A and B are shown apart, each in its own frame.
Chain A
Amino acid sequence: MATKVKKMLFILSKATIENVYAAFVMANGARMEGIDADIFFTFFGLEAVQKKKLNNLHVATVGNPAMHIPTMIGGLPGMEALATKMMKKEMEKLDMPPVDEFLEILSDSGCGLWACKLAVDMFHLEEKDLIDDLDGILTIGDFYNKADIEGTQILFI
């Protein structure tokens, strides 16, 4: 393999669909290239591994100039849901899996899925609230320890 990247560690701190998919696509892409990958879900990123929430993530319509929707309109009730529906339709056309299926693919591909202990405590979550494929709950220190080979990169999303 020509690439010098041997391991990718992702820290996902947001729950908007575009950020979650960025992390998932990059992590899956790494595994497909034979690169190790782990994702650390922290703060709002934890929503992506909460059973009740993961299939209801939204795209941000406010404060996002690239949506080309005036901020005032983006804030109207139902706008986020509408924009999300449209985006999910486009993603389905490209054969992008929904969040739950994507997590399954990542787990089966050998990508580590880790929840941040501090965030789990802060949001008063328990293990049963989180997906069964989760590999564990870690401190940030534990996660740094996964950067154990030459060519590891850490990416904050």
Chain B
Amino acid sequence: MIKTFGQTQVEVNDEGYLNDFSQWTQEIGTEIAKEQEIDMTDKHWEVIDYIQDKYKNEEPLSIRGIKKSGVINIKEFYNLFPGGPLKKSTMIAGIPKPKSCI
């Protein structure tokens, strides 16, 4: 599926996750966040940076990992990305939805 963000066209899957992380830009992230009714702040971007680093290093993401990250605690994480924090933050970060059950 092709989706247009501003001037850019990117490929996304059925759920709206980018198929190719290399197509991601901060503008695209901001647009995806808007669709999820999230206004991005510096704190949001800090979390997105952390998530993208984990992805680049091929480390699995989990809520426990977030707890240990030192970037954000779980309560804040839920507040910043309401309605499924890891699901939404990975979508904004342009990486695949985590497959883990924890």
Binding site for B on A (CB under 8 A): 1, 25, 28-29, 31-34, 94-97, 101, 104-105, 108-110
B63 touching A109, Cβ below 8 Å: yes
B84 touching A33, Cβ below 8 Å: yes
A97 touching B101, Cβ below 8 Å: no
Among the stretches B20-28, B44-52, B70-78, the one at the interface with A is: B70-78
Measured CA separation A29–B84 after assembly (Å): 9
> Which of A1, A34, A95 interacts with B62 by CB under 8 Å?
A95
Q: How far is the CB of B98 from the nearest CB of chain A, in Å?
A: 9
A29 touching B101, Cβ below 8 Å: yes
Q: How far is the CB of A42 from the nearest CB of chain B, in Å?
A: 24
Residue of A nearest to B62 (CB): A95
> Which of B63, B65, B82 interacts with A28 by CB under 8 Å?
B63
Which residues of A are found within 8 Å of B65, using beta-carbon distances?
Answer: 95
A94 touching B74, Cβ below 8 Å: no
Which residues of A are found within 8 Å of B84, using beta-carbon distances?
Answer: 1, 32-34
B101 touching A105, Cβ below 8 Å: no
Residue of A nearest to B98 (CB): A32
> Which of A29, A105, A110 interacts with B64 by CB under 8 Å?
A105
Measured CA separation A48–B75 after assembly (Å): 22
Q: How far is the CB of A95 from the nearest CB of chain B, in Å?
A: 5
Which residues of B are found within 8 Å of A32, using beta-carbon distances?
Answer: 63, 84-87
Which residues of B are found within 8 Å of A1, using beta-carbon distances?
Answer: 83-84
Measured CA separation A32–B102 after assembly (Å): 9
> Which of A33, A34, A105 interacts with B82 by CB under 8 Å?
A34
8 pairs of residues in contact across A and B, judged by CB atoms under 8 Å: A1-B84, A28-B102, A31-B78, A34-B82, A95-B62, A95-B64, A105-B63, A109-B74
Q: How far is the CB of A68 from the nearest CB of chain B, in Å?
A: 24
Which residues of B are found within 8 Å of A25, using beta-carbon distances?
Answer: 101-102
Measured CA separation A108–B85 after assembly (Å): 13
B63 touching A101, Cβ below 8 Å: no
Residue of B nearest to A30 (CB): B84
* From B73, B74, B86, B87, residue with most partner A Cβ within 10 Å: B74
